[in-house]
Chain A
Amino acid sequence: MVEAARRTSPLEGRAFRGHGIVLAPAAPASRLSLRAAEEALPALSKALGLSLPRRPKTSAAEGGRAALWLGPDEWLVIDEQGADLPALAAGVSALHSAVDISHRNTAILVSGKRAEEVLAAGCPQDLCEARFPVGAASRTVFGKAEIVLWRTGKTVFRVECWRSFSDYVFSLLEKAARETM
């Protein structure tokens, strides 16, 4: 008897829609934790098909793929088409570390005109558009969980968190969405 394993999202079936706010789990994606020194960046950028950002709190997106600056030598690469990112990085001979974290993380999309306000319930960073513009990305905290926050649009944020924290993060977002109404 062979039973095929089915991988389920930890947030399957969760959703919230309120006045000016929509919370939804993001579709599965492949993800790479990339560490590399300056010398390896041109080759890695070429292999991944986007220019790895060098400035703090920035990101680069190309098609359905994005690289988020996390630290001076650290990026989170997300591919929404589920491309085999480690294979792309494996072709680069320059010294780097590329770890597949596709299933360590999951993401929640927070959108609507109250998105900033709802996120501010748990995130201590200044999220106004002047300080956290479209394209800005940063590792930070939401309540007691570490997240990577990425502003993909004027009123759209992607919250990347560890799979095991996702129930907590979603529940806290939902609570904030209900209470700040």
Chain B
Amino acid sequence: MLLIYCPYCEEERPELEFRHAGEAHIARPENIAGISDEAFERYFFIRSNPKGIAYERWRHIHGCARFFNAARDTVSDRFLATYRTGEPKPRLEGEGQ
């Protein structure tokens, strides 16, 4: 079982307490009714799906219930960092890629 560090509980918790919640750092367009179908498609459906470092939202649903962000390596499945919602992406030098 993976141990995931929850930035709100400030400790590692078993993965059974967590739920994945999609890609992180996707900003909802401010004028969503006014954008073109193509722009909406890019916002709504298109995800980066990288090989290497992916930034994801996770939720500690059976713990503190908070959403937070995580940087994870999609090759090794390793969590490289977790950080609170609203914080910037961490710099991850020398990892993955």
Contact of A146 among B9, B10, B62, B64 (CB under 8 A): B62
Interface magnitude class on chain A: 10 to 19
Contact yes or no, B65 A74, CB < 8 A: yes
Q: What secondary structure prevails in chain B residues at the interface with A? A: loop
Contacts of A56 in B (CB 8 A): 8-11, 64
> CA of A56 to CA of B6 in the docked complex: distance in angstroms?
10
Q: For B11, list chain A residues within 8 Å (CB).
A: 56-57
- Give how many A-B residue pairs fall within 8 Å (CB-CB): 40
Complex Cα spacing A146 to B62, Å: 6
User: Known: A124-B14, A141-B17. Contact between A72 and B66, CB under 8 A?
Assistant: yes
For the complex formed, measure the closest distance between the CB of A118 and the CB atoms of chain B, giving whole angstroms. Answer: 18
Interface residue? B32 (CB, 8 A):
no
Ranked nearest first, the 7 interchain pairs of A and B with the lowest CB-CB distance are A124-B14, A71-B64, A56-B9, A141-B62, A124-B16, A71-B65, A146-B62
